Amino acid sequence: MTRRSLFWPSFWTFLGLILLLWLGTWQVERLSWKESLIAQRQATLTAGPVPLPDTIEAARALEFHPVRASGEFLNDHELYLNQQAADGKAGFQIVTPFRLADGRILLVDRGFVPTDRRSSDTRRDGLITGPTKITGLMRVADEGKPSYFTPDNEPAKNSWFFIDLPAMAKAAGVDAVLPFYIDADASPVPGGLPQGGQTITDMPNNHLQYAITWYALALGLIVIYILFARRRLREGNPGEPR
């Protein structure tokens, strides 16, 4: 009996093995890159607050860095960003214009309130009036919707699903809005609402699991090929026990 050729199975197995090993190694490199980003993010979050930047470029360089500002909340112009709390409770992030001393407007995400506390009349104590100081994390809004599945904003209903600074400023009736915003920190608020410090700062890091998966698939491919090759060779040698 003529032995069947192993050339093509060996060829495709070799290509598949190279691909799987390359993907595993790429994920190991990504792991190192992500760990560096996480360390940088943590260093940024724990740094002391700095004054507001002057440009969008400077704001991007300070993303997630604590900043401070002085001014006055325009509580009559609140905006409501649909949000789900960490415990799954539905509610809103209260975004309030904040007028700086020079007249410019900074939008401030003051924090979370439950659905039944959306109306400012239900949390009058938290409506800080007069000159005040705030601290929080510097944020730069995405251009457009964060994802295809994010609903469209509804300015006419004051119902927002993502930050759109120009549209929100227009809906709030304020001018000279800065091209970045602040997520307020967890500093105590009279009455307890809104609850600041809601920014999600964790960065997912699954690259080690991905690397292990690709390397495991490579090992599995080797095992399958060996079993296949042994069977093929035995079929080519009928006298050999199976």
Query: Is the alpha carbon torsion for 178, 167, 198, 121 positive or negative?
Result: positive
Q: How confident is the model at residue 238 (pLDDT cuts 50, 70, 90)?
A: low
Burial class of 135 by CB neighbour count within 10 A (0 to 12, 13 to 18, 19+):
middle
Residue 242 lies in a domain: no
What pLDDT sits at residue 1? 35
User: 27 with 120, same domain?
Assistant: no
Q: What CA–CA distance (Å, rounded) separates 181 from 95?
A: 9
> By the 8 A CB rule, do 68 and 148 touch?
no
What pLDDT sits at residue 200? 84
Residue 231 lies in a domain: yes
Q: Decide if pLDDT at 60 tops 60.
A: yes
What amino acid is encoded at 110 in this protein? R
Residue 2 lies in a domain: no
What pLDDT sits at residue 96? 97
Residue 75 lies in a domain: yes
List the domain range (segments joined by +) for residue 158.
Answer: 65-192
Region 43-63 average pLDDT:
92
Domain at 155, CATH number: 2.40.50
What pLDDT sits at residue 215? 96
Structurally, the chain folds into a number of domains equal to 2
User: 70 with 137, same domain?
Assistant: yes
Q: Report residue 210: phi and psi, to 5°.
A: -65, -40
Pairing of strands 50-51, 105-114: unpaired
Residue 51 lies in a domain: no
Q: Specify the range with the lowest mean pLDDT, choosing from 102-111, 159-168, 208-217, 224-233.
A: 224-233
User: 94 with 17, same domain?
Assistant: no
pLDDT in tens, 62-91: 999 999 999 999 999 999 999 877 677 889
